[in-house]
């Protein structure tokens, strides 16, 4: 929820923004795994709650922290600010003792009095709290699961009795506080201004001469009228709080103030592996979504044409595209497995599921949802216009309050989506700097486009069909690949399998061809950082070179030959299968070499739950 603030502050301060999966502990030291390799981390500015920071020694169910962080901090190999355990200062059980602490250590009284507080771990204070439950606020001394202040005045007699027993059972875990009256702040609720209870949080900044209060703060407001618990966890909100000044406030900034004739050098931060992984998958998902949307649009257009044409003549053509849809989306059994005949006769339900069922892996909605999720995790990498497109896709397909084109007919929705995805790709090409982030994004796009093209061709052009159906199918495949006008302009020919294969497989100048994808992937692989500089060809380069050479050495005329024994274009199928295998292998190599994956950690000692303290 606070990603924007973290990204803004990290950018402002010049720090690298990371999550737990970006860091690992090796030999007692903390390392950032980036695209360029490992970078040792000396200081961590921690925002995560203590208990979640290390699943090895703290909460074993945490997937947010860094395995081994506590030991690295214990060894002094990394400095953590805020230090682990500093949350003890938030323990309300300390509040009754603050006046005495101030007098003992500082020989002075507290400058700001605290709310009257009684710790139940003392016998006299325990009796007072139990005798005045209906007048006090009861709080646990630690912020465990389900932490919430309890207002005794709001409890029934039975609930008050149950609370009294809990306190008696473990009195050291509770404090009682005086119930103070809250201030209220005006809030706009359903078009009307209403009062809400509010709490002001102020901030102090430590300096060489002590602490200075910041001129402003954060006001938290309750979620409902009369609600005494003011917390975001329970529906509350927040307001910015400003202090009016009688004179202009001096502008202060930590950013560099260059001279008029000075040109500052730019600095490129290491790209964390998690961010690289998400950018790579953003490219894959956007390309997968576009390919799926184009194929679905062609199928829906063909079903409309069926109403005005001879249904029997159109069926083999439609069935080929439906089977291709299952192969391209990998939503088996679909139109090719068990129950396929019934689905081919009545594909409406299956098509609806493949478009809108976000819970079905491989469906268009599922791919768009995955795209939105990975895009949000690297939102600080997107120029503003690209982020607007991402937000528009999310709003159009998943925002129930503002459904956008959800009420359009399905083909219009697909048209609208394809335009958005093409706009995303165009803005990526024109707006993102050619740094590591763009490299991984385009790498994912090229890899996915190659795999999608192979799946489409294997499902449509490899099987042997009637000549008339095959010509129609080739024209549709060219349309799905956004290559139909290019074919007509270049060749001025009827649909001819060798020529179609020449354009879609071999033409290295055509951005939709397989050869183009392999050529671009070779450039991207060469641009990736490699640890072993002396090695002329790494595993990734060898894999791509093998795929590229295999494709360039193939003869289109032979690929188009029909094999009577198999009843298909066997050489074409063999080539495409080998190319797909190489691309999947390349994906695994890149993932293993450059992206981080959190391994499940093992708890070495039993963990005390909150209720066992």
Q: DSSP string covering 325-343, please? A: HHHHHT--STTTSTTHHHH
Q: 187 and 141 in one domain?
A: no
Q: How far apart are CA 170 and CA 151, in angstroms?
A: 19
In the chain, the N- to C-terminal Cα span, in Å, equals 30
281 pLDDT tier (thresholds 50, 70, 90): very high
557 pLDDT tier (thresholds 50, 70, 90): very high
User: Is a pLDDT exceeding 60 seen at residue 408?
Assistant: no
Q: 475 and 402 in one domain?
A: no
Q: How far apart are CA 278 and CA 207, in angstroms?
A: 39
Find out whether 579 and 454 touch, Cβ atoms under 8 Å: yes
Percent of the chain, pLDDT > 70? 92
Q: 539 and 398 in one domain?
A: no
Q: 530 and 408 in one domain?
A: no
Which pLDDT value is given to residue 179? 85
> What mean pLDDT comes out for the span 105-124?
90
Phi, psi of 441 (to 5 degrees): -60, -50
Tokens linked to 195:
């009062």
Q: How far apart are CA 410 and CA 389, in angstroms?
A: 20
- Is 442 contained in some domain? no
Q: Domain of 121: which CATH number?
A: 3.30.1490.270
- Is 76 contained in some domain? yes
Which pLDDT value is given to residue 238? 84
Find out whether 587 and 447 touch, Cβ atoms under 8 Å: yes
Q: What is the pLDDT of residues 3-53, one digit of tens each?
A: 778 888 888 888 888 888 889 999 999 999 888 888 899 999 998 888 889
Q: How far apart are CA 304 and CA 410, in angstroms?
A: 12
Q: How far apart are CA 270 and CA 439, in angstroms?
A: 14
CA atoms within 13 Å, Cβ hemisphere of 544? 26
State the burial class of residue 611 (Cβ atoms within 10 Å of its Cβ: 0-12, 13-18, 19+). Answer: exposed
Which pLDDT value is given to residue 441? 94
Which pLDDT value is given to residue 540? 87
Which pLDDT value is given to residue 8? 84
Which pLDDT value is given to residue 313? 66
SS3 of 46, please?
coil
Of the candidates 502, 446, 453, the residue with the CA atom closest to the CA atom of residue 481: 453
Which has more pLDDT, 189 or 585? 585
- Decide the pairing of beta strands 43-45 and 79-81: parallel
| Count of other CB atoms within 10 angstroms of residue 160 | 16
Q: What is the pLDDT of residues 378-391, one digit of tens each?
A: 888 888 899 899 99
Of the candidates 144, 152, 176, the residue with the CA atom closest to the CA atom of residue 52: 144
Of the candidates 485, 486, 487, 477, the residue with the CA atom closest to the CA atom of residue 456: 477
Find out whether 67 and 55 touch, Cβ atoms under 8 Å: yes
Of the candidates 420, 593, 586, the residue with the CA atom closest to the CA atom of residue 517: 586
Q: 128 and 27 in one domain?
A: no
Which pLDDT value is given to residue 343? 92
Tokens linked to 507:
């033409």
User: Is a pLDDT exceeding 70 seen at residue 401?
Assistant: no
Q: Could you say which of 194, 217, 241 is where a domain stops?
A: 241
User: Is a pLDDT exceeding 80 seen at residue 403?
Assistant: no
Which pLDDT value is given to residue 409? 81
175 pLDDT tier (thresholds 50, 70, 90): very high
Q: 158 and 53 in one domain?
A: no
Q: How far apart are CA 365 and CA 523, in angstroms?
A: 32
CA atoms within 13 Å, Cβ hemisphere of 570? 6
The 8-class DSSP code of residue 155 comes to S
Q: Could you say which of 61, 89, 117 is where a domain stops?
A: 89
- The DSSP annotation for 524-588 comes to HHHHS--S-TT-SS-HHHHHHHHHHHHHHH--HHHHT--BTTTTB-HHHHHHHHHHHHHHHHHHH
Which pLDDT value is given to residue 604? 46
| DSSP β-bridge partners for residue 217 | 241
Q: What is the pLDDT of residues 159-172, one digit of tens each?
A: 989 999 999 999 99
Tokens 């399998």 label which residue? 497
Q: 230 and 151 in one domain?
A: no
Q: Which residues contact 98 (CB under 8 A, 6 or more apart)?
A: 110, 114
Q: Could you tell me the pTM of the whole model?
A: 0.77
Of the candidates 377, 402, 401, 400, the residue with the CA atom closest to the CA atom of residue 387: 377
Taking each helix axis from N to C terminus, what angle separates 514-527 and 539-553, rounded to the nearest 10 degrees? 160
Q: Domain of 42: which CATH number?
A: 3.40.50.11290
User: Is a pLDDT exceeding 70 seen at residue 609?
Assistant: no
Which pLDDT value is given to residue 586? 94
SS3 of 146, please?
coil
Q: 464 and 589 in one domain?
A: yes
- Decide the pairing of beta strands 150-151 and 136-140: antiparallel
Q: Containing H/E element for 245?
A: none
- Is 455 contained in some domain? no
Q: 158 and 76 in one domain?
A: no
Find out whether 66 and 21 touch, Cβ atoms under 8 Å: no
Q: Exposure pattern of 80-102 as b/e (b: 16+ CB <10 Å)? A: beeebeeeeeeebbbbbeeeeee
Q: 521 and 475 in one domain?
A: yes
User: Is a pLDDT exceeding 90 seen at residue 326?
Assistant: yes
Which pLDDT value is given to residue 244? 85
- Is 9 contained in some domain? no
- Is 578 contained in some domain? yes
| Count of other CB atoms within 10 angstroms of residue 382 | 22
Query: How many folded domains does the chain comprise?
Result: 5
User: Is a pLDDT exceeding 70 seen at residue 613?
Assistant: no
> What mean pLDDT comes out for the span 455-479?
91
Q: What is the mean pLDDT of the chain?
A: 86
3-state helix, strand, coil in the chain (%, to 5): 50, 10, 35
Tokens linked to 582:
């190489």
Q: What is the pLDDT of residues 352-400, one digit of tens each?
A: 999 999 999 999 999 999 999 999 888 888 888 998 999 999 888 987 6
Task: Sheet with 216-221: list strands edge to edge.
Answer: 183-189, 192-201, 216-221, 237-242
Find out whether 424 and 389 touch, Cβ atoms under 8 Å: yes
Q: Exposure pattern of 456-493 as b/e (b: 16+ CB <10 Å)? A: bbbbbbbbebeeebbbbbbbbbbbbbebeebbeeeeee
User: Is a pLDDT exceeding 60 seen at residue 311?
Assistant: yes
Q: Containing H/E element for 395?
A: helix 384-398
Which pLDDT value is given to residue 474? 93
Q: How far apart are CA 208 and CA 169, in angstroms?
A: 47
Residue 139 gets the label, from left (phi > 0), alpha (psi -120 to 50) or beta, of: beta
Phi, psi of 239 (to 5 degrees): -135, 145
Which pLDDT value is given to residue 483? 94
Q: How far apart are CA 540 and CA 347, in angstroms?
A: 41
- Is 293 contained in some domain? yes
- Is 247 contained in some domain? no
CA 417 from chain centre, in angstroms, equals 20
User: Is a pLDDT exceeding 50 seen at residue 99?
Assistant: yes
| Count of other CB atoms within 10 angstroms of residue 606 | 8
Whole domain around residue 198: which residue ranges?
A: 183-241
Q: 392 and 303 in one domain?
A: yes
Q: Could you say which of 128, 162, 178 is where a domain stops?
A: 178
Q: 84 and 125 in one domain?
A: no
| DSSP β-bridge partners for residue 221 | 198, 237
- Is 265 contained in some domain? no
User: Is a pLDDT exceeding 50 seen at residue 425?
Assistant: yes
Which pLDDT value is given to residue 407? 43
Pick from 267-271, 432-436, 470-474: least confident: 267-271
Which has more pLDDT, 206 or 328? 328
Q: How far apart are CA 62 and CA 81, in angstroms?
A: 20
Which has more pLDDT, 148 or 49? 49
600 pLDDT tier (thresholds 50, 70, 90): very low
- Range with top average pLDDT, 223-227, 252-256, 366-370: 366-370
């Amino acid at each position: 929820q606070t990603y924007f603030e973290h990204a803004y502050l990290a950018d402002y301060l010049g720090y690298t923004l990371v999550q737990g999966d970006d860091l690992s502990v090796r030999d007692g030291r903390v390392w950032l795994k980036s695209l360029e390799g490992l970078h040792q981390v000396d200081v961590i500015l921690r925002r995560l709650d203590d208990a979640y920071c290390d699943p090895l020694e703290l909460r074993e169910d945490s997937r947010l922290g860094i395995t081994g962080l506590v030991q690295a901090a214990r060894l002094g190999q990394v400095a953590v600010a805020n230090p682990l355990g500093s949350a003890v200062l938030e323990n309300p059980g300390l509040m009754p003792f603050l006046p005495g602490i101030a007098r003992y250590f500082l020989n002075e009284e507290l400058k700001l009095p605290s709310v009257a507080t009684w710790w139940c771990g003392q016998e006299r204070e325990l009796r007072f709290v139990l005798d005045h439950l209906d007048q006090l606020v009861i709080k646990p001394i630690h912020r465990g699961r389900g932490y919430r202040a309890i207002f005794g005045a709001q409890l029934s007699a039975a609930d008050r009795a149950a609370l009294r027993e809990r306190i008696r059972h473990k009195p050291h875990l509770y404090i009682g506080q005086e119930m103070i009256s809250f201030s209220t702040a005006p809030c706009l609720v359903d078009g009307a201004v209403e009062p809400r209870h509010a709490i002001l949080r102020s901030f102090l900044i430590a300096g060489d001469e002590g602490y200075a209060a910041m001129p402003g703060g954060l006001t938290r407001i309750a979620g409902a009228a009369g609600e005494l618990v003011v917390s975001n966890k329970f529906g509350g909100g927040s307001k910015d709080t400003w202090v009016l000044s009688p004179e202009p406030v001096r502008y202060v900034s930590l950013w560099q103030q260059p001279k008029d004739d000075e040109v500052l050098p730019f600095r490129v931060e290491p790209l964390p592996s998690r961010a690289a992984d998400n950018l790579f998958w953003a490219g894959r998902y956007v390309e997968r979504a576009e390919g799926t949307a184009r194929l679905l649009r062609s199928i829906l257009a063909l079903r409309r044409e069926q109403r005005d044409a001879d249904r029997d003549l159109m069926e083999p053509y439609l069935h080929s595209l439906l089977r291709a849809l299952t192969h391209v989306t990998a939503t088996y059994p679909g139109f090719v497995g068990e129950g396929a005949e019934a689905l081919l006769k009545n594909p409406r339900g299956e098509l609806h599921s493949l478009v809108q069922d976000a819970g079905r892996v491989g469906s268009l909605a599922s791919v768009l949802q995955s795209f939105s999720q990975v895009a949000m995790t690297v939102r600080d990498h997107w120029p503003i216009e690209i982020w607007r497109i991402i937000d528009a896709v999310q709003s159009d397909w998943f925002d129930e309050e503002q459904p956008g084109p959800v009420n359009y007919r399905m083909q219009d929705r697909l048209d609208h989506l394809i335009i958005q995805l093409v706009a995303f790709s165009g803005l990526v090409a024109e707006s993102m700097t050619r740094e590591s982030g763009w490299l991984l994004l385009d790498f994912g796009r090229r890899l996915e486009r190659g795999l999608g093209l192979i799946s489409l061709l294997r499902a449509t052009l490899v099987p042997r069909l009637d000549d008339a159906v095959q010509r129609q199918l080739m024209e549709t495949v060219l349309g799905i690949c956004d290559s139909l006008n290019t074919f007509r302009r270049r060749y001025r020919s009827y649909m001819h399998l060798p020529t179609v294969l020449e354009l879609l497989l071999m033409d290295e100048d055509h951005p939709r061809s397989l050869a183009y994808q392999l050529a671009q992937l070779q450039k991207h692989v060469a641009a990736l950082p490699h640890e072993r500089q002396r090695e002329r060809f790494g595993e990734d380069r060898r894999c791509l070179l093998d795929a590229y050479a295999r494709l360039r050495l193939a003869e289109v005329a032979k690929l188009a030959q029909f094999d009577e024994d198999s009843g298909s274009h066997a050489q074409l199928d063999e080539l495409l299968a080998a190319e797909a295998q190489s691309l999947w292998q390349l994906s695994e190599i890149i993932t293993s070499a450059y992206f981080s994956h959190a391994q499940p950690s093992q708890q070495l000692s039993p963990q005390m739950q909150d209720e066992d303290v």
